[in-house]
Every structure is written in structure tokens, then in C-alpha cells.
Chain A
Amino acid sequence: MIPVNYYVALSAVLFSIGALGVLIRRNPLIIFMSIELMLNAGNLAFVAFGRSYEVLGGQPFFSGQIFVFFVIAVAAAEVAVGLALIVEVFKTKRNINIDELNSLKG
């Protein structure tokens, strides 16, 4: 018997840690991992809210879980393209520190 706001509070804490990671780390791979952490925090809140409306109007309620399913698929697509971009930047510049990447010219 856990109130739903415990889960939402945990999700808020994880999201803040992810946002902090995007702000203070200089390695684009770790920034990517922080974005994944934030997506996960959002997913946790989705499932918790969906579970708190387990039955809505006499029907079982699965929209929260299905939305998380879609978010996982989008995250997989995003990681594939993002890592390809990072590899390409590394091949061009021999460096992926985001403090050194300050021009759009390839």
C-alpha cells in the first residue's frame, strides 16, 4: 500500500539528477545517459499514474503502460541516431569534449 505520490516524488528526484547530469558533465556520452535517465523517470511516473487508475469506467486501464512502451521505442531510435552522430563528430574532430565543439563547420 504505497501512495502514488511516493512514486512521483522518486521520479522527480531521478529527473533532477538527470538534468544535473546534462548541465555539469562534459562528455556527450554521459549527457546522453542522463537524457535516458530523465526518460526513465518520466516512464516511472506514467506507470504509477496508470496503475492508480487501474480500472476506469469499468474497463481495465492500460494507456499508461502503452505510452511507456512507445517511449521505450522512441528512446531506442533516438540512441541509435545520437550515437551515430557522436561517432561521426569524433571521426571529424578527433575529440568529443563538448567544450571544444563550438563550430557547426565539419
Chain B
Amino acid sequence: MTSDLIVFLVLSLVAIATALGMLFSRNAVYSALFLVLNFVTVAVFYLLLGAPFIAMSQITVYAGAIMVLFLFVIMLLGAGSLGPSKVIPWQRPLAITLAVVLAVESLYLIISRARVDRIIAAPDAETNAMAGLRDMAMTLFDQYLLPFEVISILLLVAMVGAIVLTKQEKGGAKS
């Protein structure tokens, strides 16, 4: 058992445990904090995969910006925990069964059709010093320039949409 494998197994345990913690917390604030930990764990996986730029974007955008937005909305609405409501009695067991079936099926396919020759080597010091960043930027701004511009328009549209949706009309009357 190599040290790579030990690191991978410990990190996957943390990732799965925090995902389950997010799922089963009664309070939405705890869920959000568990999810932050999960995102940071995934960022460490990106470092293991030799993608330091993606790891840093993951921490800044996901664990930073997006989760702060979530926490802000949870506290703004006071929606930490919802009261009881009428639920369809068979919905929850059926959902759990179907999710377990999904997990088992996909794991079966992944294990039975595995290509064992595809091995991921641990990144060397040069990779994590962002040495490949220049090449990545060349690919991004050369081969993927149009998608990059489309993303910037999408972000602008999302910003305008968020402002329009939450804007208070004058006089309190809302259309």
C-alpha cells in the first residue's frame, strides 16, 4: 500500500462523511459548513490530480463565494430548520432505495468495466508549482476562446437576473 493510496482513502472517507453530514444535518447552517469541508476536500483531490489552478478556483469560488452566499441567504430567511409538514409516506423509503440502486449500479459498472492500465501518477513538485499553467492558459485562450466569452456573457446575465428578481418595486407594489 503506497502513501498515495493511503492519502486517497483517508480523503475519500472525509469527503463521503462530510457529504453524508450535509445530507442528514437538521440545521441548514450545519449542512452548509459540512459542504464547505467537502469542497475543500475535493480541492485537495485536485491537487493530487496535478490541477493546482482548479484547486485554487474551487476554494475561492465554491468554498468562498458560493457558500458565503448560501450562509447569507440561510440567515437572511431564518430558514435554518423548517417545521414539520405533510409528507407522502412512501416517498422517503422509495427515494433511499432508488439512490442506493443508482450507487450500486454505477459502482458495478465502474468496477466491472475498469481499465486497469489507466494509472494516475502523483504530481511532481513542478506540477504543483503551477508550471503547466502557461500551457493551460494557451489552451484556454486559443482553443476555447469562444466558450470563455460566452461564460462572461452568462455571468453578466445571471447578475442582471439576480438584481431584477430581488428588486423592490417603488411603493411596495410588486408586479
Interface secondary structure of B, over-half rule: helix
Shortest distance in angstroms between B164's beta carbon and chain A's nearest beta carbon? 8
- B73 near A29 (CB under 8 angstroms)? yes
Asked if B102 CB lies within 8 Å of chain A CBs, one says: yes
**Out of B4, B66, B107, which one reaches A1, CB within 8 Å?**
B4
B contact residues around A62 at 8 Å (CB): 132, 135-136, 139-140
A79–B114 CA distance with the chains assembled, in angstroms: 35
- A96 near B82 (CB under 8 angstroms)? yes
A16–B22 CA distance with the chains assembled, in angstroms: 13
In this complex, the interface size class of chain B, counting residues with CB under 8 Å from chain A, is 35 or more
**Out of A12, A33, A75, A90, which one reaches B22, CB within 8 Å?**
A33
A25–B98 CA distance with the chains assembled, in angstroms: 15
Asked if A2 CB lies within 8 Å of chain B CBs, one says: yes
Shortest distance in angstroms between A45's beta carbon and chain B's nearest beta carbon? 10
Question: A14-B15, A80-B158 are contacts. A1–B74 as well, Cβ < 8 Å?
Answer: no
A19–B16 CA distance with the chains assembled, in angstroms: 14
Asked if B116 CB lies within 8 Å of chain A CBs, one says: yes
Question: A8-B110, A52-B118, A62-B136 are contacts. A44–B35 as well, Cβ < 8 Å?
Answer: no
